[in-house]
Amino acid sequence: MVESRVDEVEDRLVTAVAVGEYLPASRLPPERELAGLLGVGRVTVRAALARLVDRGLLETRRGRGGGTFVRTQWPDSSSDAVGRTLLARWDGIRETTDAIALLHGALATAAAERITPEQATLVRARLDDFRAATSGHEKQQADAVLHRTVIDAAGNDVLADALAGLESQVSIAAPAHLWGTTEGMAEMEVRALREHEALVEAVCAHRAAEAGELARRHVGIDLELLERAMLRAGQVPTG
């Protein structure tokens, strides 16, 4: 096992927790799944997780329902790792998030053109689920389901698969979107609800051009949260 690979995985996991891919009390995927997502071996993942348990960022629970869980989101000691990781990946992140926004726009446009009455009812129900979800992890999961339902209404698996592949390049936890830090979460969730309501209305009313534009702008929240994370870590986003 190369020590530098453990360092890289540790930085990626710290960053994923800090920017809200995995929120406090969330369970991380199993070692085998994390290894596949990060493109490394299980031994490397295990070593990185052990470091983060030692640092107090994660905790391991035994028994039924056990696993590795997030304890805290952004201790002061994580800033260097977050800044280092985002800075190294920044150009790729910006280009990829732009492509993600374009694909979300294309899929929302297609959904507005093709949505059936039954699908519209389901999309509205998923919006209600998001509205009713509690702040944090539950809202993050409801957000992912709502977006998935709009994407399904577009009826194009090729575009949907391309989007999933791009999102996995930015976020370990994809298709869950970034959720920011606990300090700014309530404000971000209010904004997300407002934008979700406008998007769902446009899709269900077959206003295709409007739906596409709303979707493109809405997923820009992810890049904004990453920019905030860079600034908090003492780095200045470029481009």
pLDDT in tens, 91-138: 999 999 999 999 999 999 999 999 999 999 999 999 999 999 999 999
CA Rg, the chain, in Å? Answer: 18
Q: Where are the domains of the chain?
A: 3-76, 88-232
pTM, entire model: 0.93
So what's the pLDDT on residue 238?
82
The Cα–Cα gap between 181 and 130 comes to: 19
Predicted confidence (pLDDT) at residue 1 exceeds the cutoff of 80: no
Q: Which CATH number fits domain 3-76: 1.20.1440.130, 3.30.70.270, 1.10.10.10, 3.40.47.10?
A: 1.10.10.10
Q: 169-173, long-range: CB within 8 Å, 24+ apart, which pairs?
A: 169/92, 169/96, 170/93, 170/96, 170/97, 170/100, 170/222, 171/16, 171/21, 171/222, 172/12, 172/13, 172/16, 172/21, 172/22, 172/34, 172/37, 172/38, 173/16, 173/21, 173/22
- CA torsion 81-230-237-104 (nearest 10°) is 110
The Cα–Cα gap between 177 and 180 comes to: 9
Which superfamily does CATH assign the domain made up of 88-232 to?
Answer: GntR ligand-binding domain-like (1.20.120.530)
So what's the pLDDT on residue 3?
67
The Cα–Cα gap between 61 and 29 comes to: 13
So what's the pLDDT on residue 239?
73
Span 26-85, pLDDT tens digits? 999 999 999 999 999 999 999 999 999 999 999 999 988 889 999 999 998 899 999 999
Say which residues have a Cβ less than 8 Å from residue 134's Cβ, sequence separation at least 6.
none
Cis status, amide bond into 117, omega within 30 of 0: no
Predicted confidence (pLDDT) at residue 199 exceeds the cutoff of 60: yes
What percentage of the chain reaches a pLDDT higher than 90? Answer: 94
Place of tokens 């056990």: 66
Average pLDDT over residues 153-164: 98
- The three-state secondary structure class of 179 is coil
Span 90-100, pLDDT tens digits? 999 999 999 99
Q: Judge if 3-76 and 88-232 fold alike in CATH terms.
A: no
